[in-house]
Structure 1
Amino acid sequence: MMSISTQTAHLASIMFGLLAMIVLILLVLVGYWQRKRAIVRSVQRRMQLDLPKPGGARTKPGVSLLGDVFVRAGPQWSVGILATGALVALVIVAGVGLYRGVIEALITLFFFVSATFALWRMHFERRRRQIMEELPEIIDAVLRSITAGRSLEQAVQGAFSDTSDVFVSLALRLRSAIQQGRDYTSHFEHFGKMYHVPAVVQIALAIRTSARYGSSIKPLLQELAKSSRVRQEMRREFIAATAELRFTAVVFAILPPGLAVYMMVINDEFSRILLSSDAGHSMIAVAGVLQVVGSFVIWRLIKGVGRE
């Protein structure tokens, strides 16, 4: 019996060593790919490859779906960080699978995926709230610049250049488009749809309306700033009124799986029966289905809280 356990430990150590080597090689490859990608992007920006289409047609900003995912969460999210986290999580899951079993490994993987999505969503909502809070002040800055005699393009470029980090990607694209004499309203549309902020899309509509009919854009921007402030005030009141509901939803979503993990950790016999018998497997399946259904129902109930 002792020799079998020694052989198992030796085999596990060899497998962990191989996994560590694979992780190291993958990290080196990811770092090399990321540096090469950064060089290519820098060269593309310098050569200004994003040229206008013939006939003055609006061009859609060239951002990939994966790029949008990272931009939404902020500069702290990157391909290298995500790849490193994924590799570490896979090593942990593999270790859990070797020492505890396949079911425990799947549960651990589920927790890692859920935690990653929750963390990404938290960063996204934080940046979204910051956009909605700062947008009225940015519109006021554009209006002050127009009143001082600057052109609309200069006012837009100057107002978005002096904003926080959440507007960096939009400010860079606006500056590039304005300097090249291209249509820049498509960047407002893309940014507004990416963060689900209708007021940013309305800025693009106001600029197009003013350019098409030759009317002054100042009344449109003034009404847009006023409506954004009213919407923000209503949003704060609504969030304050539904704080208890949202806290209850978070507790109901986290408490059941947290208690399950705690009971399995402190009571090895309970976890062994739960994970080794057919009745335990049935209980895990039923609990998992109920947890997913309950989380979905609660999410539907609180969906839209503070969104508009």
Structure 2
Amino acid sequence: MASSTAVIGLGSMGYGIAQSVLRGGHTTYGYDINPDSEARFRSEGGSGGALGDIAGALDAVVVVVLNAEQTEAVLFGTDGVVPKLKPGAVVLTCATVPPAFAREMSARCGQAGVHYLDAPISGGSVKAAQGQLSIMASGTSEAFAAAKPVLDATAETVFELGDAAGAGSAMKAVNQLLAGVHIAAMAEALTFGMTQGVEPEQFLEVISKCAGSSWMLENRAPHIIAGDYAPHSSVDIWPKDLGIVLDIAKSARFGAPLTAAALQQFLAASGSGLGGEDDAAVAKVYARNAGLRLPGDA
């Protein structure tokens, strides 16, 4: 059944989500602080109109912004969308946020008669554009039912993790712990290999077929080899996401030393002016400290 959906946040992930919802045959609106992204989406078939004018007709709102603060502003800020939605509409929030924040947003949406699906995403910009994301979702059965058209259009796998918000965000924190550590470990291993005469191309060719490989290694090492740090997922994502992991760990009195070590490398990269580059640029921290030249270095 066709629905009317707004995607708020047309970054590398949100744009692909909007494309996938549109391709699924749904009336789709795209909104972003960058007007060029909005115009591009409309040129590809997205519907036009101010969010405040069309919000009352929406069946679903997908929020794909950076963090909890931006998510709350979109939902309940000065021009927040939730008070404008019709009863029974559903909000899906995709940013990495603390589970307690997801539970708070769910409660506030419920007070407004709006369903809430805690729906963090994984898979990268390519899978977002292909409608093949993994979505770690939790919420009421009514929220899942209302979100089904969006989920069908955007996800290869939907993990239904519980009937209350927060469980999806908890699982995303687990995923981000691993993903961040794996990127940093890939960068460390690749540059360590260079000190022993192992070229980055050879590193990828061999290790991707060995037990030391990971999805992040296979996905990010090619960026380093190409010397291409155009951001698919930026360095500055990781101080936020790994910071959330460590905040949760602290509240649980759980030691997470590998997460803390990876966080320090991303902070070093960001502090070196690399925050807007692809997160594979964390390798530049290792290379600089070891006096190495990565592919593409002048």
Q: Which has the higher helix share?
A: 1
TM-score under structure 1 length normalisation: 0.30
TM-score under structure 2 length normalisation: 0.30
Q: Which has the higher strand share?
A: 2
